[in-house]
Chain A
Amino acid sequence: MRGTEKALVALGVLALVVAPFFFYPVFVMSMLCFALFAAAFNLLLGYTGLLSFGHAAFFGGAAYFTAHSVKVWGVPPELGLLIGMAGAALLGLIMGLLAIRRQGIYFAMVTLALSQMFFFFCLQAPFTHGEDGIQGVPRGHLLGFIDLYVPLNMYYFVLAVFLIGVFAIWRIVNSPFGMILRSIRENEPRAISLGYGVGRYKLAAFVMSAALAGLAGGLKSLVFQFATLTDVTWQMSGEVILMTLLGGIGTMVGPIVGAGLVIALQNSLATSQFPVTVVTGAIFMICVLVFRRGIVGEVIAFAKRYGSR
């Protein structure tokens, strides 16, 4: 199995390397941003068992932080991304401290309410420019000499950040720390009785997930060169849940596949009159009723059944 997995990953990376020659680069870049966002979200839902309904705050918040620091302070793009990430992590720390005081369904409602509070903050704070958002964000020069206005340069920068981000998530999940997170997901009282400070582990996972979601958000603001309120709305939080659920909760590749599908779907419906929310809502309902494991989850389950025979 390990050999096949490695081959599949290599094939996937190769496909992403050549993708800009076949597809519109901005389209693939937006897929990569959302895929990283969904993977970061899955770190929390899939591997720690916490459903956050407020991840848009980190994604959209970091988009604002990165856009503001690059445009107004004039920092280079790589530093802008780090500022966005740090801001998202700080936001995650504050929200996480409050949210982990409740469990399950309450956790979801608390994160939703806190992110809505952040939405109103973004609506009123002067640096976000309210309804207009931050526009005309410069992409700048990576490390001072790589011009990111060249589409292919930007693409490979985005791909590199995406791969680093996903690798970080993979490392976290497969570390001893990740094992403890999974034990919390499987049986929290037992993790407590084994002597783990469950609260601190949950908070750490929450902050990491927020920071990586922030990385994705900051990257998106550089790709599209703007940061708007859309990215901090609760609909965005719902969207990332859908991507993860559709692809497969608790699988490494699932959220990436889910994000790709959802973005492709939105792109194809964008030109038609048909409302996207109806379609996304219907997919939500079908996923929950028919295949809760998601596409990748079902494939893995099928492969296991086939392999054991």
Chain B
Amino acid sequence: MITVFGVPIQALLGQLLVGLINGSFYAMLSLGLAIIFGMLRIINFAHGALYMLGAFVGYLMLAHLGIGYWAALVLAPLTVAIFGMVIERLALSRLYRVDPLYGLLFTFGLALVIEGSFRYYFGVSGQPYPTPKALAGGTNLGFMFLPNYRAWVVVASLIVCTATWFLIERTKLGAYLRASTENATLVQAFGVNVPVLLTVTYGIGCALAALAGIMAAPVYQVSPLMGSNIIIVVFAVVVVGGMGSILGAIVTGYALGLVEGLTKVFYPEASNTVIFVIMAIVLLVRPAGLFGRDA
């Protein structure tokens, strides 16, 4: 058997794959957080709850309406995006003029309400979500067994991240968004409807979280607590990457997922904390974050 530093290569590759999967979710979530923060100057604490909501909408669609995975992949993010846009119109839009900390506190309250309600109705135990038939089973690569669904998650999240990056950096809508981040008043003076742009941005961020959630549903179980466990890690990812850049958020997400996977192989006790340790080191060495522009 081939070993690397005394660890069987199969175990190493297996954990690296798990790390890559987690990294995919970190990347999609921190990407959404970065987009929302860039435009709205609000840290969306409800991001974890929206991720959970995406998974649950998918689960409920399957359980009650018989809507399968592929349709849910579109419908769940859409539902959550609409929910998010209503919240933005009704509440968040009133908080743009006050200290950004209030946005954090409001979305924190929102997260508590969403998670509390789901815990009340569904309990804390997870609900299984079947892997779609087309992606069941796995492929033997010779040196390891690769479950098809997991490969799909990695590929799909890469596509989604690239598409979002393209949308923001290379399209006209993206140009409006970036311009509003720099100077909203001026953009409005050119006749762009900035408030609508803000609503749409929040919707896109929410949709990304929900998409991550429905993609995560077959990998993990659908549980009301799945969001609160991941959101703090994603915050650390965002601090490490710096929210200044879209690309930074994506790269940091995948990288930290991989690091976490590696830690599980070589020093399992620290696998929960390794991302926070990296965050502390980055704060000491480069307080603005790896890709951040300002402190």
Q: Give chain A's interface residues, CB within 8 Å of chain B.
A: 51, 98-99, 101-106, 108-110, 112-114, 116-117, 120-121, 123-124, 234, 238, 241, 245, 273-278, 280-285, 287-289, 292
Contact = CB atoms under 8 A, between A and B. Distances in A.
A285 B113 contact: yes
Contact of A278 (B117, B272, B284): B117
Q: Which of B95, B228, B236, B295 has the most C-beta atoms of chain A within 10 angstroms of its own C-beta?
A: B236
Nearest to B272: A120
Which A-B residue pairs are the 7 nearest by beta carbons? A284-B109, A281-B112, A277-B116, A281-B113, A278-B116, A117-B276, A285-B109
11 contacts: A51-B101, A101-B287, A102-B295, A109-B236, A238-B108, A275-B117, A277-B112, A281-B114, A285-B91, A285-B109, A288-B105
B235 interface: yes
B106 A105 contact: no
Contacts of A123: 272
Interface string B36-56: 010000010000000000000
Contact of A275 (B102, B109, B116, B272): B116
Given A105-B43, A283-B109, A288 B102 contact: yes
A288 B277 CA distance: 32
B283 interface: yes
Q: Which of A105, A112, A121, A123 has the most C-beta atoms of chain B within 10 angstroms of its own C-beta?
A: A105
Given A281-B116, A283-B109, A284-B108, 9 more contacts: A98-B283, A101-B284, A245-B105, A280-B109, A281-B113, A284-B106, A287-B109, A288-B95, A289-B91
Contacts of B269: 124
Contact of B239 (A110, A120, A124): A110
Q: Which of A120, A245, A273 has the most C-beta atoms of chain B within 10 angstroms of its own C-beta?
A: A120
Contacts of A275: 116-117, 119-120
Contacts of B272: 120, 123
Nearest to B275: A113
A110 B283 contact: yes
B279 interface: yes
B105 A112 contact: no
A124 B270 CA distance: 10
Nearest to A282: B113
Given A98-B280, A98-B283, A105-B100, A288 B106 contact: yes
Nearest to A245: B105
B38 to A, nearest CB: 12
B119 to A, nearest CB: 6
B276 A278 contact: no
Chain B, interface SS category: helix
B232 interface: yes
A285 B115 CA distance: 14
B263 to A, nearest CB: 12
Contacts of A114: 276, 279-280
B119 A234 contact: no
Contacts of B193: none
B91 A105 contact: no
B112 A110 contact: no
A288 B98 CA distance: 10
Contact of A281 (B37, B100, B109, B277): B109
A251 B106 CA distance: 21
B277 A117 contact: yes
**B contact residues, range:** 35 or more
A108 B116 contact: no
A114 B287 CA distance: 15
Given A109-B239, A113-B236, A114-B280, A289 B94 contact: yes
A278 B273 contact: no
A245 B105 CA distance: 9
A277 B119 contact: yes
Nearest to A108: B104
B113 A113 contact: no
Contacts of A283: 109
B208 interface: no
Q: Which of B112, B115, B236, B273 has the most C-beta atoms of chain A within 10 angstroms of its own C-beta?
A: B112
B57 interface: no
A245 B106 CA distance: 11
Contacts of B280: 98, 114, 117
A284 B115 contact: no
A169 to B, nearest CB: 21
B290 interface: no
Contacts of B116: 275-278, 281
Contact of A103 (B111, B228, B295): B295
A8 B32 CA distance: 49
B279 A110 contact: yes
B238 interface: yes
A116 B48 CA distance: 15
Q: Which of A105, A113, A273 has the most C-beta atoms of chain B within 10 angstroms of its own C-beta?
A: A113
Contacts of B120: 273-275, 278
A75 to B, nearest CB: 30
Contacts of A234: 228, 232
B241 to A, nearest CB: 12
